[in-house]
């Protein structure tokens, strides 16, 4: 009877229940529960399994460059990171309000790490996220304009709750990239959030964008009701390398 039940659970794709039921049988713990407790345990196991698989799919779809988590962020005083601000962002209320997050600082101070950690947390909370290197995204959208898939690509971006633009401003924007960025920010204004990391302070983004009218329009939408994280201190990569050198 148990084998038949397990087989039917698999057929119904109740994988969480299947695993919990099988474990309970193998460990002899089926008698440790009342009927109500056993049913509650099976349902909780199924819910946990589905939730974990959903998170895994969302993290995979986000295409983060690497793995990071909010719990592993280092709150060194020299880095100018406010723990309470990070905790509030990890709650993801800013996504419900369609607010943006702007993270600036010099090379290696951990901008991408924090952005990825917050993006990963958003996936855990059930929000759709996509991560991009900004230069590569612009190149991809330029190609999409050439092959006729631009509207499809922009529609896909519009469906995301959060778009992460990493390494913004490594080079000035040409006219085509200015218009792409303008359309991307305009589409998300009041509908979704943007998280941007950059080595350039926010006040320098006007010059990066170039054309004054477009820059004003982009910055007004991007900076309005945004959260700012302005990192300082030494390169975390350099610090890590020094520690590893000392150990070796």
Domain boundaries, the chain: 2-62, 70-240
What pairing do the DSSP bridges indicate for beta strands 100-104 and 162-168?
unpaired
Mean pLDDT for each 10-residue chunk of the chain (248 residues)? Answer: 85 89 84 85 90 90 90 87 93 96 92 95 95 94 93 94 94 90 91 95 90 90 91 70 49
Strands (E), the chain: 100-104, 129-133, 162-168, 193-198, 226-230
DSSP at 213: H
Q: How far is CA 172 from CA 112, 186, 211, in A?
A: 20, 20, 11
Q: How many CA atoms lie within 13 A of 115 on its CB side?
A: 37
In angstroms, the CA 135 to CA 9 distance is: 47
The confidence score (pLDDT) of residue 128 equals 96
pLDDT for the residue 129: 96
pLDDT of residue 243: 44
CA–CA gap between residue 40 and residue 47 (Å, rounded) = 10
pLDDT at 153: 94
The CATH class, in words, for 70-240 is: alpha beta
pLDDT at position 141, please?
Answer: 94
User: What confidence tens digit (pLDDT) does each residue in 198-213 have?
Assistant: 999 999 999 888 888 9
- For the chain, counts of helices (H) and of strands (E): 12, 5
pLDDT at 67: 87
- Which residues, 6 or more positions from 77, have their beta carbon under 8 angstroms from its beta carbon? none
Q: Which helix (H) or strand (E) holds 71?
A: none
Report pLDDT for 98: 95
């Amino acid at each position: 009877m148990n084998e038949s039940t397990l087989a039917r659970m698999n057929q119904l794709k109740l994988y969480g229940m299947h695993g919990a039921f099988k474990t309970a049988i193998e460990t002899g713990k089926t008698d440790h529960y009342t009927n109500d407790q056993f049913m509650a345990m099976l349902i909780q196991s199924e819910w946990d399994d589905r939730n974990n698989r959903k998170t895994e799919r969302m993290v995979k779809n986000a295409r983060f460059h690497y793995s990071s988590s909010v719990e592993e962020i280092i709150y060194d005083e020299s880095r100018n990171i406010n723990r309470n601000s990070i905790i509030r962002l990890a709650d993801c209320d800013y996504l419900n309000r369609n607010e943006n997050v702007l993270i600036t600082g010099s090379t290696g101070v951990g901008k991408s790490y924090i952005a990825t950690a917050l993006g990963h947390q958003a996936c855990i909370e059930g929000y759709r996220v996509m991560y991009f290197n900004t230069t590569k995204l612009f190149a991809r959208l330029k190609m999409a304009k050439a092959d006729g898939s631009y509207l499809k690509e922009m529609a896909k971006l519009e469906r995301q709750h959060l778009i992460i633009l990493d390494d913004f401003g490594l080079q000035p924007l040409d006219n085509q990239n200015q218009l792409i960025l303008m359309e991307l920010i305009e589409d998300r204004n009041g509908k979704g959030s943007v998280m941007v990391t950059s080595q350039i302070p926010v006040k320098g983004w006007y010059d990066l964008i170039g054309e004054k009218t477009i820059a004003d329009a982009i910055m007004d939408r991007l900076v309005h009701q945004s959260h700012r994280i302005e990192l300082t201190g030494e390169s975390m990569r350099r610090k890590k390398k020094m520690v590893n050198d000392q150990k070796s």
